[in-house]
Amino acid sequence: MRYLGRRLGHAVLLLAGVSILSFLFAELAPGDVFDEMRLDPRISEATLRAVRERYGLDQSLPQKYLRWLQSVGRGELGFSVVHNGPVGPLLWRRARNTLLLTVPATALAWLIAIPLGIWAAARKGQWPDRAGAAATTTLLSVPDILLALVCLLIAVRTGYFPTGGMVSLGFDELGAWDKVKDVVSHFFLPVTALLLVTLPVLVRHVRASLIEVLQAPFIQAARALGIPEHRLLFRDALRAAANPLISLLGLSIAALLSASLVIETVMSWPGLGPLLLEAVVARDLHLVVGAVTCSTLFLIGGSLLADALLFAADPRIRPGRA
């Protein structure tokens, strides 16, 4: 527990660091949300100054940061000038949508990658392995932007899938079952695109770590004892290879979030990605800081999850019990 507690403290420090860092970047930015108002001759210089004062934009950086921290304490996470409301509720809804996309994609990707990787490792150097390697390399070279656009093309050309958004018009009037069907039909293509982005990396790693394990003497011994090959692969070898794979789970979430940003924006899924993009263009400071910090939260959450799993799976890292 102390191990996990230490990791948690570390995570909080990282989050604080990231929020300060994003504040610094925002401070460097020339201009703010009200810049376009200056072009309007009906708005006087004095009004502008008053508006800036009201939103606290005239304060120094530490003051701004302290104000933001206070509002984080209240659960508001700052104030979005463009949306004219606290950032918190805005962010949580979008964050939920991003999770709705990334969690099934991660789960599916692992479910597919583990058997595929094991299969390739068991046939190392034979044609299925080579074909798999060629396929993963090719898929790795397809940019996520192109994948998203092709998925959109499929939606537009076939008409089987909606071309964007998360729910259809009139969603509220649908029955419970139709609601589920509606959301699933909307997220099918984005999840597929995300899956194709993550899959090649995972398959390669599963294959590599399994090949390493399969060379170990204990596998040879097990084989000599007549343990069936599929049990050997899926139980003994996979368990021994679990360690690096669990660490990879934490890392794969980082790549997934970046890909998700692109795919969400291209396929107009109302997640964190489009929100961040709009906020950057509008120079809505607190919203950018909020979205960036939120993405870090996901990332840290992912690696904490990996740590906890590792803690449960590997007795060697449990201090005091070794």
Partner 1 sequence: MNPAGTPYRAFQSEGRLAGSRAGRILTLLALVYLAVVAAGFVAPGDPITQHRELVFAPPTRLHLIGPSGELHWRPFVYPLVLRPDTFDTYEEDRSRMYPVRLFVRGAPVRVAGLFTWDRRLVGTDSPTPLFLLGSDQYGRDLFARLLYGGQISLFAGLLGAALSLGVGVLLGGIAGFYGGWLDEIIMRAAELFLALPWLYLLFAVRMSLPLQIAPAQAFLLIVMVVGVVGWARPARLIRGAVLSARVRDYVLAARGAGASDPYLLRRHVLPQVVGIAATQAALLVPQYVLAEVTLSFFGLGVGEPVPSWGNMLSGLNRYHVLASYWWMFLPGIALIPVFLLYYALADALHQRATAFTP
Angle between helices 285-313 and 238-266 (to 10 degrees): 160
Closest separation between CB of residue 123 and partner 1, Å? 19
**CB–CB of 78/229 below 8 Å?**
no
Instruction: Note whether 216 binds partner 1 by CB under 8 A.
Output: no
- Residue from the set 157, 169, 321, 322 that interacts with partner 1 by CB under 8 A: 157
- Residue 101 CB neighbour total at 10 angstroms: 24
Q: How many chain residues interact with partner 1 (CB under 8 A)?
A: 48
Instruction: Note whether 17 binds partner 1 by CB under 8 A.
Output: yes
Which DSSP string corresponds to 143-205? -HHHHHHHHHHHHHHH-SS-SSSSS-TTGGGS-HHHHHHHHHHHHHHHHHHHHHHHHHHHHHH
How many angstroms separate the CA atoms of 16 and 18, rounded? 5
> Token pair of 47, please?
């009004």
| Of residues 237-266, those binding partner 1 (CB under 8 A) | 254-255, 257-258, 261-262, 265
Closest separation between CB of residue 186 and partner 1, Å? 16
Closest CA to 190 of 254, 253, 91, 264: 264
Instruction: Note whether 186 binds partner 1 by CB under 8 A.
Output: no
Instruction: Note whether 103 binds partner 1 by CB under 8 A.
Output: no
Instruction: Note whether 146 binds partner 1 by CB under 8 A.
Output: yes
Instruction: Note whether 296 binds partner 1 by CB under 8 A.
Output: yes
| Of residues 26-85, those binding partner 1 (CB under 8 A) | 26-31
How many angstroms separate the CA atoms of 224 and 296, rounded? 48
Instruction: Note whether 145 binds partner 1 by CB under 8 A.
Output: yes
- Residue from the set 246, 300, 306, 310 that interacts with partner 1 by CB under 8 A: 300
> Token pair of 125, please?
């150097």
- Closest to partner 1 by CB, 112 vs 149, is 149
Instruction: Note whether 209 binds partner 1 by CB under 8 A.
Output: no
Q: Which residues contact 212 (CB under 8 A, 6 or more apart)?
A: 241
Stretch that binds partner 1, among 23-31, 172-180, 235-243, 305-313 (CB under 8 A): 23-31
- Closest to partner 1 by CB, 118 vs 155, is 155
**CB–CB of 148/192 below 8 Å?**
no
- Closest to partner 1 by CB, 112 vs 254, is 254
CB-count burial class (<10 Å; 0-12, 13-18, 19+) for 174: middle
What is the longest distance spanned by two Cα atoms in the chain?
Answer: 88
Instruction: Note whether 19 binds partner 1 by CB under 8 A.
Output: no
Instruction: Note whether 299 binds partner 1 by CB under 8 A.
Output: yes
Closest separation between CB of residue 230 and partner 1, Å? 27
Closest CA to 246 of 53, 114, 55: 114
Instruction: Note whether 143 binds partner 1 by CB under 8 A.
Output: yes
- Residue from the set 183, 280, 304, 305 that interacts with partner 1 by CB under 8 A: 280
**CB–CB of 226/253 below 8 Å?**
no
Q: Which residues contact 48 (CB under 8 A, 6 or more apart)?
A: 34, 37, 38
Footprint of partner 1 on this chain (CB under 8 A)? 14, 17-18, 21-22, 25-31, 137-138, 140-146, 149-150, 152-153, 156-157, 163, 254-255, 257-258, 261-262, 265, 276-277, 280-281, 283, 288, 291-292, 295-296, 298-300
